[in-house]
Structure 1
Amino acid sequence: MAWHDYKKKIKRQFSEFLEIPGDVMLDLPKIVLFGNIKIFIENHRGIIEYTTEKVRVNVMEDEVAITGENLLLRNVLPDELCVEGKIKSISFL
């Protein structure tokens, strides 16, 4: 087991023991979807790609890809962002 994986496992166990939400303790992204018109992403690490058809966002060690039509970034803050438009798919890459 790699050191990074071991560290993540310890944090997860500690989080469960103290009943602390995983998104806080493990720095996981929190994603909230409102129908297919709006998505909020908390704990992001930056925007990788932004077009009206695709938004890619860096989250922890992965990225979230949002595809759709007329996508628009709203409320871009250091750790939170909102994407509005007609959302067709969300995937983790």
Structure 2
Amino acid sequence: MAKKWTHRFRKWATEKMELPPDVMMDLPRVTIIGQLHIYIENHKGLLAFSDEEVRLLLKQGQLLIKGNSFVIKTILPEEILLEGKISEVLYLKE
């Protein structure tokens, strides 16, 4: 019950204060530049990495990125910049 109330409050506060939803709702922000770069903010950790697949943990679910020739250009606790040829970005619910 408390979790539902907290979610409603965050949604209300986001709308009333005109704040970006990713900040208040703890959502990931994904920026894709063509098929070459993908920048993900507000993830909870790197689960798997290969030159064809990257899997990130989110607050709710996972983000799966498929393609080839992947290289991690930058990795920080809640941010990652990935370079390579991106073919798919999938959101996986838990």
Deviation at 1:4, TM superposition (A): 2.3
2:77 maps to amino acid: P
Alignment of 1:1-93 (within 5 A): 2-93=1-92
Structure 1: 4+ residue segments shifted above 3 A: none
Compute the TM-score of the two structures, normalised by the length of structure 1.
0.92
Matched letter for residue 30 of structure 1: R
Percent identical:
32
- Give the root-mean-square deviation of aligned CA atoms: 1.1
What is the distance in 2 between the residues matched to 1:18 and 1:65? 32
The one-letter amino acid paired with 2:7 is: K
What CA distance in whole angstroms lies between the structure 1 residues aligned with 2:55 and 2:37? 15
Q: How many residues align?
A: 92
Report the AA paired with residue 19 of structure 2: I
Cα shift at 1:29: 0.6
- Give, in angstroms, the shift of residue 84 of structure 1: 0.7
**Structure 2, unaligned stretches of length 5 or more?**
none
How high is the TM-score relative to the length of structure 2?
0.91
